Structure formats: C-alpha cells, structure tokens
A and B are shown apart, each in its own frame.
Chain A
C-alpha cells in the first residue's frame, strides 16, 4: 500500500473486503449506522449492524406502479436503485415531539424538546438523494427561519455516497441535473466496480472528516484504469435512464398552464392516496397534532408528515381551498417543478422516480409534463377548427 495525502477531491481504492472496516471506523467514532437493507420485499433504509446487513446480491426492477426485488449472482453490494424510503425518514422524521406543557393553577409551563445529538452515518446515499438533502437544507436552514432540530441532525450526519452503477426504470436524474454521479454534499463517495477477478470501490474524498475515516481503512492510490472504470460505470448509468423530462422553461410552462385540461385527466386517475408525497425525498410538509393526557393536565405538540393530497391540508374556516383531486395534484406537481424554484431557488424534483414507482395507478410526472408541453394551453381557449362556431 502506498501512503497518499488524502485531501478533498482525491480518489483512492478500497477493496470490497474493507467495507466492514468502514462500518467499524464509523461505529468507533460514535456514529449510528444507517443504510439500505432488505425488508418486506423491498430495499429500505434502516439501522445496520455491519456491512453484512447490506442488500448483497439483490437488485430491483421498477416501472410505473411496480417495484420488484430480484436476486443477482454477482455479489454486488449496491446493485439497485432508489427504494421506497429516503433519508428524510431520519433527517426530517415522520413524527417529532416539539414540546410538552404541564398545567397547574390555570397557568401552564412549556418544556421545549432538545435537538437530537445522535451522530448518524448514512451509507449508500445516491446522487439524487444528496440533491434532495440539499433541497431540504434550503427549506429548513437557508431561509429567514431555521429549524434547530433539522440543523442538529444535519450537523451530526456523515454521508457515504454511492455513485449509481445502474439506472432504474423510473429514474431521470440526468434530466434534472442531479446525477448519477455524486458531485458534492458527501464525506465519501464510492463507486462500486465488479471485474472478473476483483470487486472494489473507488472512493472520492468529499470532506476532511471523510479523509480521516478513509485514512483509518486499508486503501491505496487509484490507478488510471480503475478511475476510468469508475467513470465508465457512471457514464453507462447516465445512458440508461428509464425516464426523461424536458425541463426547459418548466416554471413558465406550468405557470401558464394552471387551467390545462390535462389536470382533469390526471385527476381522473389520481386516488389522492399521498404515496408520492410520502416517498418523495424533498416533500417536507408537516402538520401538528396537539394532544393531552386524560386528566387534561399534560399536553404535547407533535409535528407529523402531512400531504397536500389530503383535503384538510388547505382547510380554512368555511371549507378547503383545494377541494378537488385536480387542484391537489396540480398543487403537488406545480409546487415540485415550478413554485419551488421561486421559493427556494431550485427545483423540488431530483428525478429519483419514486413517485412513479410507488403510485398505485402509475401516474408518471415525466409523462404529465410531456402532455402539457406537447399541447400547451392557448391563452384564448383551444381552437376547435370550426369556423362556424358549431362545436
């Protein structure tokens, strides 16, 4: 092994057998390990004990409304794409207690919840999801207000990214400019290479912490052909996207098409089940629930994931603003692809394809954009082609 100076941007080689040592090094530093594992017929993100918990020898097959787990015989560790979970499950959890209050003598006192200091290492974060984390950073950290709970979780996180070695049937990160290669936002980024005789990772250092961790593992300087193999892996993935979306002027396109007949058509299929918002790695909406104990002396406030697909989401006294599936689907898609840009300076879609895979009726956001783009709404109504006004 040659000793090299590990600095941000350098590439090294980490043998497959050393993956366990990465886990051990992170554990030793007090990180809880979180990553992909097989459960309930899907690859989910959960706490891992060791690299043995990773979905070795598994892959997935995805298309609109379909997700299937399949075994593979090449021993690949990261040979699959995005599953139903995203990292927001840990960084922006589904249910969080914000504070508790106790009442005595007509008055009450409020105890604020302390930010979570648990250090967590996220292993196997794909480029689309790195972008999704960056998007949520903008929501919770970069505005006028700052979410201290989210901030604590982010500051205590270590990210080991994985560059995608294959594309899923519903993936379109290339269209969104969010992958498949991890460009930033990671401590370490791995590319998995399987050659006839060898199985190794090319590891790129993203931060000083990443360099420190890598320095503790057996590693060596990358050779030209290894770096080339890594680049080729990612390039092949980029060529194999299952979906595409033309994002040219997409904000203007959607702003000009609030009344497009396509919204009615998609609403005819949409079950407003909210699956797309639950699996979406950027959807951040929450509601709050105020609860009390039976005596009414102790109260708590919980923040829980919410979805713009529910009727209650837009309720104000008198009724719901978005009372129809059409207005709710339109809100979701227009928010994701258009208003998000005005709100946070970035698209809310990272092209992970989860909303397509997990939609029970297979509604495809790329298809919806295409339909609107192909027949944009005329500002003066649709031409009927009938000069006599008989239609």
Chain B
C-alpha cells in the first residue's frame, strides 16, 4: 500500500513528450527488486504531486533495471518528466494481469502496438527473443503518428535486422525524407507472416486503433479467444478498492490491464461504460 523509494539511474527522452526512466530500489531499501510479468504496471509517485499508473517496459529477466516509458500529459507525469539521475521516485507494484506468453508457447505471435502502446509490449519482445525456440513466427506491427513519435527507434532497427522477428513500422504522416511505410498499422495484418489459425495476438494502443486491429485480425478468421488487448482507465489505488478503473464488471487494475478480447468484446461497444 505504501510506495517504496527508488532512485533514478538514467533518463532518456524518447520523443518530444515521452521519456523513459530506469530505476533501482533506493539505497537502504533492503528488499530485492520486484520481479514482474510482461504486461504488468507500477504506480509511480512523484513527491507531493501524485501517482500515475505506468506499464513496465523493461526486460522481465532483469528486474533490477526497472524501466518505465512515460508520456508527460498530466500533473504527475509532467513532474516525473522533471526527474533527473539520482532523484527519488516512489513505486507501488507490480500490479495487474500479464500477456499470455504461456498460452502462446509453440504458436505464432502477432504483436500490434500503437503509439505509446509499444511500452507494455516491449517486455514481450524481450521475453520472446530470449526464449525464441519456444515460439513460432513472431511479428511486431507498430504504428505511430509520425517518424518522430516512434518509441525505441534504435531497438526497432536492431530487431528489424534479425532473421527471427518480422518488424513492420507504419506512420500516419511523414515528410518525403521518411523511407518507411506511411499508412495505418492495420494494413500490415493481411500480409504479415503468421498463421491466423494458430497465432496469439497481443494488442496495445488507443482503443480505436485496437478496435481496427481486432477487425483486421478477425478478417483472417483468427479465433477471438486468441486475441488479447491491454486496457486503460483512471486508476488511484491499483488494488481494486477505489472503484475508479471499473469497466463493466471488471476492475482494470486487478482483472486487467490485459484482457482476452472475448471477455471484453461486448463492453467495448457500450459507450461511456
């Protein structure tokens, strides 16, 4: 219930409004770093300002490097954006459900990310690449607004150079100097190399984008119970007590954020739920 102080080890600016913090438990905090599963999130506390729910975007095999990618949009995230190396931040977590990496064993994986939605999916990529033999074809389809809004550009390039991972990146708009794809990320779905009858899809991005991605996947006659999405709602307590993150009968904080599409499909069509 109480945040554990963590020290900022490194800060990277990812895009004009998005940055990444690498944290480690503060000196004097004897406890070991918390391990986490891909898809889970922490509550990050900026001293005196407030808490924000931020997905964990680092390597699950290296929990001692706690990595969060944050978009500075509200009072708390803007305060977090002002943190520098050596500063302290409070952490509660990890909370929530995880991407179905067990269920995906032996099967193809199609990862579809939009905007900052790549952050909670990056641990999946790390895990899959470290355990590559356990999975079939793996495809990462990533969409962003413009080339300048792409997260983890260097890593994307490295991943694209691999023979065991298909990476496709699309932006909505680009200057003529951009040599990559312009268009919507869903255009990649019909031509990506995965077997729809066998694959597991993991999708995270703005709700509208996830809806289109699911439509694209279902056109390939993929089973909807093999599709997973990560949801976002207002969060205060992260443990199901405060009521804020309710989404129909579900609490995003403890039943989610990762849901099978099948379990939330009906709710996604109700406005203002």
Q: What is A's interface to B at a CB cutoff of 8 Å?
A: 98-99, 101, 103, 106-110, 112, 139-140, 143-145, 147-148, 258-259, 284-288, 290-292, 296, 299, 303, 306, 308, 313-317, 321-324, 326-327, 330-331, 335, 338-339, 342-343
Contacts and interface: CB of A to CB of B under 8 A. Distances in A.
Contact of A112 (B1, B51, B254): B1
Interface in B52-99: 71, 73-74, 86-88, 90
A335 B26 CA distance: 41
A258 B47 contact: no
A314 B272 CA distance: 9
Given A98-B1, A99-B2, A339 B246 contact: yes
Given A106-B87, A299-B48, A326-B272, A316 B236 contact: no
B2 A290 contact: no
Residue from A258, A296, A330 whose CB has the most chain B CB atoms within 10 Å:
A258
A147 B239 CA distance: 9
B271 interface: yes
A111 to B, nearest CB: 9
Contacts of B86: 106
Contacts of A322: 272
Say which size band chain B's interface belongs to: 35 or more
B233 A314 contact: yes
Interface centre among A314, A331, A335 (most CB of B within 10 A): A314
Interface of A is mostly: mixed
Given A290-B48, A335-B246, A258 B273 contact: yes
B163 interface: no
Contacts of B237: 286, 288
A145 B234 contact: no
B2 A306 contact: no
A99 B239 CA distance: 17
Nearest to B46: A290
Contacts of B244: 285, 287, 306, 313-314
B242 A285 contact: yes
Lowest 5 A-B CB distances belong to which pairs?
A: A327-B272, A285-B243, A342-B249, A292-B48, A145-B239
A286 B236 contact: yes
B78 to A, nearest CB: 11
Interface string B19-31: 0000000100000
Contacts of B242: 285-288, 303, 306
B2 A317 contact: no
B74 A107 contact: no
B15 to A, nearest CB: 15
Interface string B220-235: 0000000000001110
B148 interface: no
B3 interface: yes
A258 B272 CA distance: 10
Contacts of A292: 47-48
A316 B74 CA distance: 9
Interface in B1-51: 1-3, 5, 7, 26, 45, 47-51
B251 interface: yes
Contacts of A144: 239-240, 254
B241 A286 contact: yes
Nearest to A92: B241
A321 B234 contact: yes
A330 B271 CA distance: 11
Contacts of A103: 47-48
Given A284-B243, A315-B234, A323-B272, A107 B26 contact: yes
Contact of A284 (B241, B270, B272): B241
A322 B233 CA distance: 11
